[in-house]
Amino acid sequence: MPHRKFTGDPLGPGLIWVTGLVFLVAAATGLYLFYSVLAGPDPVDKTRSWEVNEEEVMAWMEQSAEAEENFNREWRTSPDDPEVFEELELAIGLQRKLRDIDPGDAFGASSRLDHLLSRLEDTKGQMLFIEARTNSERATELVSQGDSISAIPLLEKALVNQEWINTHLQGSELVDRGEVSRLRQWLSSLETVDAVASVETFWAQGKAAYVSGELDEAEELFDRALAIQESINLNMPGSSHVRWMLVQEIRDYQRRIEAARMNHRIEQLLAATPEGIESGNLERAVNLQALLNKRYPTTEYADANRLNLLKSKLATDQSEANVALLLEQTFLLRECLRKKDWQKLRPVLLELEGMVRDFSASFTEALLPDPEIQAQIRWLIQMEEALPDLVETVETHLIEIPVAGIRMFDAEVSQALFERIMNQNPSRWPGAERPVDSVTFSEANQFCERLGWALAKPVCLPELEWVTALNEKPQPAESLWFSANSSFESQPVRSSSPVGRIYDLYGNVAEWVTLSGGRQPAGLFGGSGADVWDAVRQEPLNRVASNFRSRWAGFRFCVSE
């Protein structure tokens, strides 16, 4: 759109106007003096509070003309410099003074003032128009370079300038309502692009902060991303930038942040007393975990198992006195068994059974101090009459080995002994005095656990290091049960020649042994009646899985003092 053009010399008309104005002022002054002589003193003019100083008026008129001349000169050289309007505004101010002291407009100040004000708006409009076009062109260049963010403030300024022109210069050729619409559309488009970029930035930064544990920072970033994206979704329903799934993802992370805060508080409560969780803190932790599970069930911090465990600990904590009594009675039971005080055993067992029953009924969420105590009590009551003979039989056949605090059973566990303890017999070759066979690693450990209840001492399978520490490998194969003389079936325990005082450490049935620590199986040691002695002597350990079951697999046990 072309700029308004100004032609002619603005200085010439101004001087003519000033000269005419001076002539009119002189004529008016003469008429006034002539009238004053004829009419005498005039009444007081209440519309004026002071007399006109002709010299001051002339000075204002000259200053106004000079200011306007300066403006015209500067406007021709620097039309885009806002400071050029200072001279024009000075001229306008002087004309306002002239108008104010002359309500009758004898000096023509009102018309001159209107002219200057119109000139001010017109020239200001041209300057704003130039600035608007310059900003628009610069914004176009920035957008082409991919810098939409920097283009936005330039377009905003261009829009403000064009709106001012359209409002204040009605009828001017600078008025362009289509340009306003175009700028608004363009600005809206760039703001949307900027908003989408901001959402992506805040979203990525928020996730990074969440992963690093900066929950406050992550929450602030997610809030920003959510606010912008929701605004886009609501205000631009048909746009490709509408992303409701992203809103759901952001809200999901916000829920995870809240859940993480609650989880952190739970951990603080649980860590408040390292030596024992106080009931107050633990109860608050239980309530907080229950609330977390209810509000945020899909987060990684919702944990029903943890809640149940906390409830159990709380119940146990609340039943501390009862637990102490249970522990005391359990200690009495073990003392009776250790001292072989069979007379006191039954009343102690029955009282402990009643206490456990009452405890479980009163504190349903509490953990017993010994989870196996109920099974232990039931088994001991069933075995009560057989316990004295069982304990004596076992202890008679325990021998010292070169391992401190450990005694080993001198023979493989017989089917009779296994059946007394376990009330069942898995053996493939039946015979009370034959070694029990077809026993898995787990079943052998269950036997040791029950026998430990009767002895009130730890009972376990031998460790591989213990049996190799015996370092006793007999030379004559005829004295051991191997393939050469076993008839390929198991033989009664203690029917071979002992090595030292130990029977069948090699041959008859292979025996389960453990790795150091006793938790994991090392395999089957010593070979069996199906093996060749020379091969077993070279490699006595057969590594098998814990669930291995064979008619040639048995075991013996050790007792810790």
Give me the domains of the chain, ranges plus CATH numbers: 11-141 (no CATH), 263-318 (no CATH), 320-382 (no CATH), 387-560 (3.90.1580.10)
Residue with tokens 């034959």: 434
Cα-based angle 30, 32, 35 (whole degrees, multiple of 5): 110
pTM over 0.85: no
Please say whether the beta carbons of 115 and 136 come within 8 A. Answer: no
Please say whether the beta carbons of 205 and 222 come within 8 A. Answer: no
What is the residue-level pLDDT of the chain in tens, covering all 561 positions?
444 333 444 444 544 554 555 555 555 555 554 444 444 444 434 344 345 567 777 787 778 788 777 777 777 777 667 676 777 778 778 777 777 776 666 667 777 777 777 777 777 777 788 887 888 888 778 767 766 667 768 877 888 887 887 787 777 777 888 877 877 776 666 566 677 778 888 889 998 998 888 989 989 998 988 887 887 777 667 666 778 888 888 989 889 899 999 998 888 888 876 555 555 888 888 999 999 999 999 888 898 998 888 888 777 776 676 778 888 888 999 999 999 999 999 999 899 888 888 887 877 666 676 778 888 999 999 999 999 999 999 999 999 999 999 999 999 999 999 999 999 999 999 999 999 999 999 999 999 999 999 999 999 999 999 998 886 666 666 788 999 999 999 999 999 988 888 999 999 999 999 998 888 999 999 999 999 998 998 899 999 999 999 999 999 999 998
At a CB cut-off of 8 Å and minimum separation 6, what does 37 contact? Answer: none
Residue 450, SS3?
helix
Nearest to 96 by CA among 114, 119, 122, 82: 114
Q: Tell how strand 406-409 and strand 398-400 pair up.
A: antiparallel
Nearest to 265 by CA among 296, 287, 297, 298: 287
* CA distance linking residue 93 with residue 96, whole number of Å: 5
- Residues counted in the chain: 561
Residue 33, SS3?
helix
- pLDDT value, residue 28: 57
* CA distance linking residue 249 with residue 255, whole number of Å: 10
Residue with tokens 């992963």: 211
Element (H, E) at 232: helix 215-235
- pLDDT value, residue 11: 43
Nearest to 451 by CA among 465, 436, 431: 436
